Amino acid sequence: MVRQTRLSADAERHRMSRKLENKEDSKNRKKRDALRHRSRRQRVESFVHVGMDSIIVSYGYLGRMDCKCRHCGALHFKCEITSGRKDEYKQCCHYGSVELPPLLPYPDRMKVLLQAADVDGRNFREYVRNYNSALAFASLGAQINAPTTREPYCFRIHGQINQQIGALHPCADQRPQYDQLYILDSTLTLQERMVNVGNYRCNETIMKMLGNVLTRTSPFAVAFKIIHEVEKEEIRRYKGEKRAPTSVRMIFDNNYRMRDQRRCNLPRANEVAVAFIGDNGEVSKYRHVAVHPLG
């Protein structure tokens, strides 16, 4: 409280002093302020340089990384082997107790874009983050702490990270985005992605190819197609039966207590989500995300 009072008094005194200045006094004061700020920055920079120059980093050599695990084929340094064991390691597959399926082949068209030196390849690599955001099912929610000094930028998050996902259909005054794009026709989906101002530098042909790849391979894309078909079937039924519509929901299950987290098999659409019709259906208490037709 005392410090705040003192600072307020100082600010008022400086304000009154500036009102009494003529043009020459104001010019001289600004020169003194600029010189003082420049001198302060130089002191900070010189301190950082001296601190970094005084650090002597020792180095070591572990030899070649050419020791192969006999279970999974991962490469290790010789010093990483556990006493009493030969050609098997804990860091990769826990001495062969964890067996991972082979990775699926990378799409040939995407492989070409990553390696090509033509216009399409350069566009894909330069704006890969824009393509990734355009194809996302949900947006990232977090409290981001931006750097306040002149240090190199780094992405810093304070608190919890969450995924924000909308209803299956947008509101009347909104355009579809994220998961809402995966129930549309492929042509409409491409149009909606390309009219987004954040994607104006993206190539339409590349965007179409990436969308087709994700639609074919992602179980989440298939799940959204399923819930849309369930919704359309329920609409057809209640109109034919002349009754009130029943709510439709899709639950993404995240029962990590019942699943082995070391499993890396690609899930199927009916493993990541379940469609519910009606308000009395039993919903898993471990539900992760619930998607409704309208928000």
**Calpha distance 202→193 (Å, rounded):** 10
Query: Please, are residues 38 and 23 in contact by the beta-carbon 8 Å criterion?
Result: no
Residues 6+ apart with CB under 8 A from 242: none
Residue at token pair 């999974």: 72
Residue at token pair 């330069």: 126
pTM of the model: 0.55
Question: How does residue 75 score in pLDDT terms, banded at 50, 70 and 90?
Answer: very high
Q: Assign residue 2 a region (left: φ > 0; alpha: ψ between -120 and 50; beta: otherwise).
A: alpha
How many angstroms from the chain centroid is the CA of residue 264? 20
- 108-115 vs 119-126: helix axis angle to the nearest 10? 90
How many angstroms from the chain centroid is the CA of residue 129? 9
**Calpha distance 138→141 (Å, rounded):** 9
Residue type, 185: D
**Calpha distance 278→169 (Å, rounded):** 18
**pLDDT at residue 256, as a whole number:** 46
CB atoms within 10 A of CB 76: 18
**Calpha distance 160→157 (Å, rounded):** 8
* Count of residues making up the chain: 295
The beta-strand segments (E) located in 29-182 are 67-68, 75-76, 139-144, 157-164
**Calpha distance 286→268 (Å, rounded):** 18
Residues 6+ apart with CB under 8 A from 174: none
Pairing assessment for the beta strands 273-277 and 248-253 based on DSSP bridges: antiparallel
User: Which among 2-16, 110-124, 248-262 has the top mean pLDDT?
Assistant: 110-124
Residue at token pair 């020792």: 58
What's the pLDDT tens digit per position in 212-262? 888 888 888 877 777 777 777 777 877 787 777 776 666 665 554 444 444
Question: How does residue 34 score in pLDDT terms, banded at 50, 70 and 90?
Answer: confident
**Mean residue pLDDT across the chain:** 76
Secondary structure of residue 291 in the 3-state scheme: strand
Secondary structure of residue 276 in the 3-state scheme: strand
Span of 40-54, 68-82, 93-107, 255-269 with lowest mean pLDDT: 255-269
